[in-house]
A and B are shown apart, each in its own frame.
Chain A
Amino acid sequence: MHFAHTNVRGRAFVALVLSCLGLIAVLAATPAQALTTNKATARPNQEGGNGVVGGIDTRLTWEGTVGDDEQIEAITLELPQGSSFAGSTTRVTVLDGLTRIPIEGQASDTDERLVVNFDNPVPAGSLLRLEVEGMRFAEAGGDCAVTGTYTASGSQHELDSSDSITVIEGTWLQRAVAVLDANPAVEAWNSNQFLGMFFKPQLILTSLFSLFPGWLVCLVIVICAYPFAITLGLIFALMKISNNVVLRAIAVVYINLLRGTPLFLQIYIMFFGLPMLGINIDNNILGVAVMAINSSAYLAEIFRAGIESIPQGQYEAAASLGMGRLQTMFNIILPQTIRRVIPTVTSDFITSYKDTSLLSSVGVMELMMFAKNATSVSGNITPYVTAAIFYLIVTLPLIKVVGIIEKRMARSERGSGPRPKLTQPTVTTEDAEQVEGAQSVLPNDSTDAGVLMAQAVRAAVGGDING
Chain B
Amino acid sequence: MANMTRRNFLSICAAAGSLALVACGGSGTGSDTTTSSSSAEASAAALTTVVAGKLTCIANMYFPPFESMDESTGEPQGFDIDLGKALAEHLKLECNWLPSQQFDTLVPTIKAGGTADISITGMTINDARKQEIDFSDPYIDSNQALVLKKGSTETEASLNDASKKVAVQAGTTGEERVRENLPNATCVPLDEVISCMTSVSTGNNDALVIDLPVAANLISNSFGDLEVAQEIATGEQYGIAVSKENPELLAAINAALAEMESDGTMDELEVKWFGTKL
Contacts A133-B128, A271-B204 given; does A369 touch B189 at CB 8 Å: yes
Q: How far is the CB of B148 from chain A (nearest CB, A)?
A: 16
Complex Cα gap A239–B180 (Å): 53
The answer to whether B170 touches A376, judged by C-beta atoms less than 8 angstroms apart, is yes
Q: B136 to chain A: closest CB distance in Å?
A: 17
* CB pair B202 A276 closer than 8 Å: yes
**A363 and B235 contacting across the interface, CB-CB below 8 Å:** no
Are A373 and B108 closer than 8 Å at their CB atoms? no
| Contact yes or no, A363 B204, CB < 8 A | yes
Whether A94 pairs with B235 at a CB distance below 8 angstroms is yes
Indicate if B5 sits at the interface (CB-CB under 8 A): no
Stretch of B33-41, B44-52, B190-198, B256-264 with 4 or more beta carbons under 8 angstroms from chain A:
B190-198
Interface of B toward A, CB cutoff 8 Å: 3, 103-105, 107-108, 111-112, 126-129, 131-132, 141, 143, 165, 167, 170-171, 175-176, 179-181, 183, 188-191, 195, 198-199, 202-205, 212, 231, 233-237
Within 8 Å CB of B132, what residues of A? 379
Which residues of chain B have C-beta atoms less than 8 A from A89's C-beta?
127
Task: Name which of A38-46, A142-150, A151-159, A439-447 contacts chain B.
Answer: A38-46
Contact with B along A83-110 (1 / 0, CB 8 A): 0000001010111011110100000000
Please classify the interface of chain B as helix (H, G, I), strand (E, B), loop, or mixed, using the class held by over half of its residues. mixed
Contact residues in B for A98 (Cβ distance below 8 Å): 143, 212, 231, 233, 235
The 4 closest A-B pairs by CB, nearest first: A376-B171, A376-B104, A275-B202, A133-B127
Binary interface encoding of chain A residues 280-317 relative to chain B, with 1 for a CB under 8 A from any of its CBs, else 0? 10010000000000000000000000000000000000
Cβ contact within 8 Å between B205 and A44: no
Known: A363-B199, A372-B170, A376-B103. 6 other contacts (CB 8 A): A42-B180, A100-B141, A280-B203, A363-B167, A363-B204, A372-B189
The answer to whether A376 and B129 have CB atoms under 8 Å apart is no
Once bound together, how far apart are the Cα atoms of A283 and B190, in whole Å? 13
User: Closest approach, in angstroms, between the C-beta of B166 and any C-beta of chain A?
Assistant: 11
CB distance from A61 to the nearest CB of B (A): 7
B107 adjacent to A50 (CB under 8 Å): no
Residue numbers in A under 8 Å from B167 (CB-CB)? 363
Of the candidates A42, A100, A380, which one forms a contact with B108 in the assembled complex, judged by CB atoms under 8 Å apart?
Answer: A380
Q: In the assembled complex, which residues on chain A have CB atoms less than 8 Å from the CB atom of B128?
A: 59, 133, 377, 379
Contact status A362-B108, CB under 8 Å: no
Contact between B112 and A197 (Cβ–Cβ < 8 Å)?
yes
Residues of A within 8 A of B112 (CB): 193, 197
B143 to chain A, nearest CB (A): 5
Count of A interface residues, CB-CB < 8 Å? 43
Q: Which residues of B contact A61 (CB under 8 A)?
A: 180
Q: In the bound complex, do residue A197 and residue B108 qualify as a contact, i.e. CB atoms below 8 Å apart?
A: yes
Q: Determine the main DSSP class of A at the interface with B.
A: mixed
B182 (CB) vs chain A CBs: closest residue: A50
> Quick check: A381 and B108 within 8 Å, CB to CB?
yes
Q: Which chain A positions have C-beta within 8 A of B141?
A: 99-100
Residue of A95, A197, A361, A381 touching B235 (CB-CB under 8 A) = A95
CA distance A127 to B223 in the complex (A): 31
- Which B residues are in CB contact (< 8 Å) with A189? none
Q: How far is the CA of A93 from the CA of B235 in the complex (A)?
A: 7
Q: When chains A and B are docked, how far (Å) is the Cα of A43 from the Cα of B179?
A: 7
Q: What CA separation (Å) do A95 and B126 show in the bound complex?
A: 17
Known: A100-B141, A275-B202. A379 touches B111 (CB 8 A): yes
Instruction: Please give the residue numbers on chain A whose beta carbons come within 8 Å of chain B beta carbons, in ascending order.
Output: 41-44, 50, 59, 61, 89, 91, 93-95, 97-100, 102, 127, 129, 131, 133-134, 193, 197, 271-272, 275-276, 280, 283, 361-363, 365, 369, 372-373, 375-377, 379-381
- By a CB distance below 8 angstroms, the chain B residues around A373 are 170, 189
CA distance A127 to B235 in the complex (A): 10
Residue of A nearest to B245 (CB): A193
For residue B232, which residue of chain A has the nearest CB? A98
Flag if B180 contacts A129 (CB, 8 Å): no
Knowing A41-B181, A129-B235 are in contact, say whether A372-B202 is a contact too (CB < 8 A). no
Q: Are A275 and B204 in contact (CB under 8 A)?
A: yes
| A134 and B127 contacting across the interface, CB-CB below 8 Å | yes
Chain B residues whose CB sits within 8 angstroms of the CB of A362 once the complex forms: 190, 195, 199
Q: Is the beta-carbon distance between B127 and A59 smaller than 8 angstroms?
A: yes
CB distance from A210 to the nearest CB of B (A): 13
Smallest Cβ distance from A420 to chain B, in angstroms?
62
CA distance A91 to B239 in the complex (A): 15
CB distance from B197 to the nearest CB of A (A): 11
The CA-CA distance from A375 to B180 in the complex, in Å, is 18
Q: Would you call B233 and A95 a contact (CB within 8 A)?
A: yes
Are A379 and B107 in contact (CB-based, < 8 A)?
yes
Q: Are A93 and B234 interface neighbours, CB within 8 A? A: yes
Measured CA separation A98–B235 after assembly (Å): 7
Chain A nearest Cβ from B133, distance in angstroms: 8
A44–B190 touching, CB < 8 Å: no
* Contact partners of B105 in chain A: CB under 8 A: 375
The complex places the Cα of A42 from the Cα of B175 at a distance, in Å, of 14
A59 cross-chain contacts in B, Cβ below 8 A: 127-128
* Partner among A127, A133, A272 whose Cβ is within 8 Å of the Cβ of B199: A272
Task: Find chain B residues with CB under 8 A from A42 CB.
Answer: 180
> Distance in Å from the Cβ of A49 to the closest Cβ of chain B?
10
What residues of chain B lie closer than 8 Å to A131, measured between beta carbons?
126-127
Tell me the complex Cα distance, A363–B176, Å.
16
| A59→B173 CA distance, assembly (Å) | 13
Bound together, the chains give a CA A379 to CA B129 distance in angstroms of 7
Q: Do A102 and B3 touch (CB < 8 A)?
A: yes
CB-nearest residue of chain A to B169: A376
Contact of A283 with B204 in the complex, beta carbons under 8 Å: yes
User: Are A361 and B180 in touch, CB under 8 angstroms?
Assistant: no
The listed residue (B176, B203, B212) touching A43 by CB distance below 8 A is B176
26 A-B residue pairings within 8 Å (CB atoms)? A43-B176, A43-B180, A44-B179, A61-B180, A91-B126, A95-B233, A95-B234, A97-B233, A98-B143, A98-B212, A98-B235, A133-B128, A193-B112, A272-B198, A272-B202, A275-B204, A361-B195, A363-B199, A369-B189, A372-B170, A376-B189, A377-B128, A379-B107, A379-B128, A379-B129, A379-B132
What is the CA–CA distance of A389 and B39 in the complex, to the nearest angstrom? 52
Closest to A93 in B: B235
Name A273's closest neighbour in chain B (CB-CB): B202
Contact of B188 (CB < 8 Å), options: A50, A99, A363, A380: A363
Question: In whole angstroms, how far apart are the Cα atoms of A111 and B149 in the complex?
Answer: 45
Output the residue of A93, A99, A272, A379 with the most chain B CB within 10 A: A379
Q: In the complex, which of the residues B176, B180, B236 has the most CB atoms of chain A within 10 Å of its own CB atom?
A: B180
CB-CB nearest in chain B for A133 = B127
